[in-house]
Amino acid sequence: MIAPVLSVVAASVANLGVLGWLLLRHTDDVILGYAGGPVALAAGVIACRRVARVAGLTGPIRRFWRIMEIAGFVLFVTAVIALARANNNAGMSIWVAVPMLAGVLLLMSGFLGLPGPRRTASGWVQAILDGLTVAVSSGLIFWYVVLDLAPDDTSLVARIVAAVVGVGGVLLLVTIGKAAARPETEVHPVALRVLMVGPITCVTGTFLLIAGGELSRLALSVLALPLTGAALGIGAWLQWRALDRPAAEPVTAPARSLFNLLPFLAVTATAALVISVSAQDMNHRQRVVIIGAVLITGCVVARQLLSLRENTLALRGIRHQQAELERLALSDNLTGLPNRARFTVALTERIEAGSPAAALLIDIDDFKMINDTIGPAAGDQLLYAVSQRLRNQCAPGEMPARLGGDEFAVLLSPSLSSSASSSSASSSSASPFASASPGSPVSSSASVSPAFSASLPAPAWPSAPPSALSDISPLSDLSASVEGAAARLLLAFAEPFRIGDQQLLLHASAGIALAEPGETADEVLRNADIAMYAAKESGKASWARFEPRMRQDMVSHARLAGELRDGIRRGELRLLYQPVFDLVTGRLHGCEALVRWQHPERGFVSPAEFIPVAERSGLIVPLGAWVLRESCRQLAEWRAEHGDGAVEAVNVNVAVRQLREAGFVDEVAAVLSDTGLTPRNLILEVTESSVVDGWQVTETLESLHRMGVRLALDDFGTGQSSLSLLRAFPVDVLKLDKSFVDGIADGADRGRLAVAAAVAQLAEHLQLKTVAEGIENEGQRDRLRAMGYRYGQGFLMARPLPANECGALMAVDPVRAA
């Protein structure tokens, strides 16, 4: 904004012009001297007008500068009238005095309207009494001293009018001084002090208009209004500069007692005036009485001054304690960052001011596992290190905060940080975080655990290269700057953190929510939280921007989770069994248990819909426990009914949440014992993402394998580290994902053929059993069999069947031992 700067320059030029005229004038024509007033005041009005319309102002500041604008315009009218009536007469014309007094009253109303400590009825009475004391004292001084010094040819009306304006200037000076001396003020305190130039020139000018000589009277007459205009312009410029700086704590000004002393100075001056008057017409005894009364008044004043000093010191201590309590209440003890309360207050202030704002919520992925591994003390050190990284990564106008635990937030102010964000957004595309597709839809099927959806087609994961971000993200500058800031802030996790003698590489998920009109800070934070969980579901180490449909999905998931809990309790779930066949002999070899839900009102609910809900809500643990026990019970029943004709083992899918449970191994052992099965009768299917989840999962799988339970790697080939897993993971069975079976019959997709053939050869060398999933036609079966696949499952051989139908297959075609 260049207008306040130009206004200051214009007002300064006007004042310099008036000074130059005073020094160089050669005639008695004074009209040129008065020309600087309208110019300077017009510049001041323009500066106040521009500042009052800046986005991001709070209500009280905006209202203050609007009043300054109106008062400046009234004073501009005063300057025009003074220019039209240009003279160097003693006293003040009523035509000039009326608009000037109106301007003084407007200025006073602006300063009285500034927010401050709430006054009680007693406080208002004290303020009125202080003002009345100052007004009466200054009025008496003008009436008894100043008016008598006026030239004899000055009319009484001109003298009285000037005195009234002078008293108004004194009251305005007290009002501005008290406002500037408040410990906390929303208007820039230096700007308030600059505006004191107006009443100072008013008081001095009216004094000299009555009692001054020709030169001093002329100097103040032509300079008073230009100086006031310059003060308005400079004050507005200082306020604009303060708004252009990064958001910070409220400006604190040191407490001053000078203006609190003015009522006592007024009493002292009046007492001196009483002594001066009394000494002229009284006898000795009367004078002693007056002097005694004045001495008593002086003692009372001195006593009040001492009380005022004690109160000032006590108040200063209370304010210091209050500031310390506020700091403790609004900051995080561990990291020193603002806490949730301070973040919410700052976000609320920006929303209420109508300023663009956004919340970025950051959660460290798998922090609980890391904290359990390195210990709470090291975990606290890690959180402190993360906070410092975020603090250093923040651009001006961005406020980092710790909301609790491993959850951080950053208040983004796009209008202030867009340049910093845009400059770093291009460089951040090379970061692993930049490849996230912010705001891209996360389909429910994308979150389904393949372990519970073996009969379903593989989900199509949304993906986009970094260069496609501009196509996915909104085209608005606001969204672009916020998303660029998100990518830049997540770069804080790119380098390892050194904690003691350890180096830890973290990754985090983040959610972005823009503050929409009408939303509260809590709603914005909730939206960011929803977006953050969407980022975690899309694979972690990424960020997502909130979209309204995410809230609908969250509500739907919460409702479905409640119904699923009731469904598990009421026995609405059932198992189907997908037969596994020997591709060489065509005989039944095994079966995989698949969970299904028959809702009493919704009807059939797809696993793609309720499995993600179960994983997010934690219901996957009781659900998985029921599937494990029910499938083992059914296998025991088949073996009791069909003997050697029954399948040897049943395949049960296990979610990573189950593998993290400390008692899962004992649970499996208890189920096998209760159903009379051996570990050889159970095959647990896990996904590649489950295996690499952490040391707890690894220990659980190794314990199960030592027990004798066989492990199958489901959807093999779709992960990112399949080959390395075969060395570290105790696998017995590889299940080729359906995505490599589709289209394999015609041989058109050479990539799928190559992967399928490589998996078969790899399994043969490692002596692992291979099972091909999703066989739907004879061509696929024949091609897989030719590649060396011994076992397969799919709709070609049989769909998932109820337990009785699957048992009937065993009775008709007894299982051949593998």
Cα 164 from Cα 92, distance rounded (Å): 10
pLDDT at site 244: 59
Tell me how far CA of residue 530 lies from CA of 398, 478, 546, in angstroms.
21, 20, 7
Strands 733-736 and 710-716: parallel
Cα 112 from Cα 131, distance rounded (Å): 12
Cα 731 from Cα 704, distance rounded (Å): 11
Task: Tell me the sheet residues that pair with 338.
Answer: 331
| Core vs surface per residue 342-364: b (16+ CB within 10 A) or e | bbbebbbbbbeeebbbbbbbbbb
User: Which among 271-280, 419-428, 656-665, 689-698 has the top mean pLDDT?
Assistant: 656-665
What are the pLDDT digits (tens) for 498-549?
888 888 888 899 999 998 888 899 999 999 999 998 888 777 888 889 888 8
Reading across the β-sheet that carries 399-404, which strands appear in turn?
Answer: 399-404, 407-412, 358-364, 508-514, 543-545
Eight-class DSSP state of 443: -
Eight-class DSSP state of 801: B
Q: What is the DSSP code string of 107-127?
A: HHHHHHTS--SPP-HHHHHHH
Which residues are within 8 A (CB) of 699 and not within 5 positions of it... i.e. 6 or more apart? none
Task: Tell me the sheet residues that pair with 410.
Answer: 360, 400
Q: What mean pLDDT comes out for the span 732-750?
A: 80
- Has residue 159 got a pLDDT over 60? yes
Eight-class DSSP state of 151: -
- Has residue 579 got a pLDDT over 50? yes
Cα 568 from Cα 110, distance rounded (Å): 67
What are the pLDDT digits (tens) for 45-63?
999 988 888 876 777 888 8
- Are the C-beta atoms of residues 659 and 698 closer than 8 Å to each other? no
pLDDT at site 458: 31
Other beta carbons less than 10 A from residue 71's beta carbon:
26
Cα 224 from Cα 8, distance rounded (Å): 16
- Has residue 254 got a pLDDT over 50? no
Tell me how far CA of residue 275 lies from CA of 148, 288, 289, 303, in angstroms.
18, 10, 11, 21
Q: CB pairs under 8 A, 24+ apart, for 318-325?
A: 319/183, 319/255, 323/252
Report the chain's mean pLDDT, rounded to a whole number.
Answer: 78
Give the length of the chain. Answer: 818
Q: What is the DSSP code string of 450-468?
A: GGG-TTSPPP------GGG
Q: What mean pLDDT comes out for the span 611-622?
A: 87
Q: Exposed (0-12), middle (13-18) or buried (19+): which is 180, by Cβ within 10 Å?
A: buried
How confident is residue 420, by pLDDT bands cut at 50, 70 and 90? very low
Q: What mean pLDDT comes out for the span 261-289?
A: 57
Cα 616 from Cα 530, distance rounded (Å): 12
Task: Tell me the sheet residues that pair with 575.
Answer: 595
Tell me how far CA of residue 26 lies from CA of 20, 40, 209, 222, in angstroms.
12, 24, 22, 16
Backbone angles phi, psi at 338, to 5 degrees: -55, 145
- Has residue 190 got a pLDDT over 80? yes
Cα 283 from Cα 288, distance rounded (Å): 9
pTM (global) more than 0.85? no
Cα 176 from Cα 169, distance rounded (Å): 10
| Structure tokens belonging to residue 682 | 């159970």
Other beta carbons less than 10 A from residue 330's beta carbon:
18
| Core vs surface per residue 138-163: b (16+ CB within 10 A) or e | bebbbeeebbeebeeebeeebbbbbb
How confident is residue 667, by pLDDT bands cut at 50, 70 and 90? very high
Query: Interior CA angle at 807 toward 671 and 672, to 5°?
Result: 10
| Structure tokens belonging to residue 593 | 């248990």
